[in-house]
Amino acid sequence: MDHKLWGGRFSAPTAEDMALYNDSFRYDVRLAECDIVGSIAWAGALEEAGLISADERDQLVQGLGLVRMEFADGRFVAMSSDEDVHTAVERRLGELVGEVALKLHTGRSRNDQVATDMRLFAIGAARLVGDRLQGLQLALLGQAERHTATVMPGYTHLQRAQPITFGHWCLAYVEMLERDRHRVEDAITRARTLPLGAGALAGNSLGVERERLTELLDEFDAVAGNSLDAVSDRDFVAELLFAFALTGIHLSRLAEDMVLYSSAEFGFIELADEYSTGSSIMPQKKNPDSMELLRGKSGRLIGNLVGLLTTLKGLPMTYNKDMQEDKEPFFDSLDTLDLGLRVAAAAVDTMEASPERMRAALDDAMLATDLADELVRLGVPFREAHGKVGRLVRRGIELRLPLRELPLAEFQAVQPEFDEGVYAIFDFARSVARKDSLGGTAPLRVSEQCARWRDLLES
């Protein structure tokens, strides 16, 4: 038997391919829980509007509870006529409670229903991603705390620039991820506007109290003020997909650093075996696949965002079936980040940093700025100091000597006031300790930041 919600005016059945094309149950089944939560509230509102009796409401609520349990424990049996999750829930409800199920859809449309379901789902999804982001932040923080004073090369243009601390590098990503967390939370605030009760597009004429629905559904704190906008708005999906895509971009940068740093050429970190894989032909290989996937999957996160924006572009008011295409990209981005962030957190947590290899990659030329700063302290204008140190660097290259091995005469040739004390500059620990401006790489500052993050992330 066909359980279509709309068969009445049709004389021919849906073509097989059309059904395949149209049906969304295979993926929107993920909305089942949200759909049922929304329907329970709707049944309550119907009763309060005097459209069903208290007894009928109880039967509906009880039946919806049973359907909910079937979905939760995997007992729900789908039928080929289950066009979408809304149809499936109503069909099963009818089988369980009989006739009264026919009253549930009073004054409601799948248009306001699906918009409500998606918002509820998106709020939960955003919370999950927020938690996962925090998990990765905590893993990075753990490494930062272990390495507040571990000195490594800092890069610009991927060229050695100035010494930094490894803890400082870790915390840079904690900052990035914090912005991602805020973006996700911010998107939730706009997802909390309730479309239910907007009907198909024009509102409901049966006296269902929309304000009351926000009390019955605690995720919502306001009702949508325009019924047309209520059923046609998918901004909250796009916003979250953007937040997820930007997170993906941040993760790809973290991953790229870790791919580089785990190569033999750098050797700054070693990933745990659990988060690496081998080669089928080269027995010696240990590949950073966890990080390569993290980097690579940013592509689909961006694709899902661009795909949805393209779907929404130019849609006429109000609901259009195009909008069914919001679900798969959203679910895909959610799943991609959920697992990706779990793997990233564990890979970061279990990686071994090598302070020796970091130290070995430092060279004296990275202290050229420190040398110029020293000249500034002697009263030389910085632009001139820059030129003088540049000449010293060139002399080092010509003589094939690291800066610290240049004879004092070379230093005095550019600045006569230089004395033996100049050699004290060639101390990487001293260099980072001096970068003690707020937000700087000095171990003292990094420790302060660690304490701040520990507080923030654990409260």
CB nearer ligand ARG, residue 315 or residue 429 = 315
Q: From residue 202 to residue 241, what is the string marking binding to ligand ARG with x (rule CB under 6 A)?
A: ----------------------------------------
Check binding of 84 to ligand ARG (CB under 6 A).
yes
28 vs 257 by CB, closer to ligand ARG: 28
Site map (CB under 6 A) of ligand ARG, residues 98-117, x = contact: ------------xx--x---
Burial of 121 from C-beta contacts in 10 A (0-12 / 13-18 / 19+): buried
Among 11, 157, 437, 459, the one annotated catalytic:
157
Residues 69 and 104: their CA atoms lie apart, in Å, by 19
Nearer to ligand ARG, 14 or 324 (CB): 324
Asked if 318 interacts with ligand ARG (CB under 6 A), we say: no
151-156 vs 222-223, strand pairing mode: unpaired
The answer to whether 418 touches 412, Cβ cutoff 8 Å, is yes
Region of 184-192, 268-276, 303-311, 321-329 interacting with ligand ARG (CB under 6 A): 321-329
Active-site annotation holder among 205, 252, 279, 280: 279
Does 324 sit near ligand ARG (CB under 6 A)? yes
DSSP letter for each residue of 26-88: HHHGGGHHHHHHHHHHHHHHHHHTTSS-HHHHHHHHHHHHHHHHHHHTT-----TT--SHHHH
- Tell me which DSSP letter residue 242 carries: H
Tell me whether the omega of the peptide bond preceding residue 318 falls within 30 degrees of 0, making it cis: yes
> Binding-site residue total for ligand ARG (CB under 6 A)?
10
CA 346/CA 272 separation, integer angstroms: 9
Residue 28 or 332: the one with the smaller Cβ distance to ligand ARG is 28
In whole angstroms, what is the distance from residue 199 CA to residue 204 CA? Answer: 5
Using the minimum distance from each CB to ligand ARG, give the nearer residue, 130 or 199.
199
Q: Residue 92 contacts by C-beta under 8 Å, 6 or more apart in sequence?
A: 67, 70, 76
Among 323, 380, 389, 406, binds ligand ARG (CB under 6 A): 323
344: left (phi over 0), alpha (psi -120 to 50) or beta: alpha
Question: Of 287 and 324, which has the nearer Cβ to ligand ARG?
Answer: 324
| Smallest gap from residue 40 Cβ to ligand ARG (A) | 19
Structure tokens at 392: 């010293």
- Answer yes or no: 157 catalytic: yes
- Residue for token pair 């009880």: 62
Within 16-75, which residues bind ligand ARG (CB under 6 A)?
Answer: 24, 28
Whether residue 86 lies in the annotated active site: no
Closest approach, Cβ 311 to ligand ARG, in A, equals: 11
Cβ–Cβ < 8 Å for 253, 224 = no
For the CB of residue 269, give the shortest distance to ligand ARG in the complex, in Å. 44
Under the rule (CB under 6 A), what is the footprint of ligand ARG? 24, 28, 84, 110-111, 114, 319, 321, 323-324
For the annotated catalytic residues, the residue numbers are: 157, 279
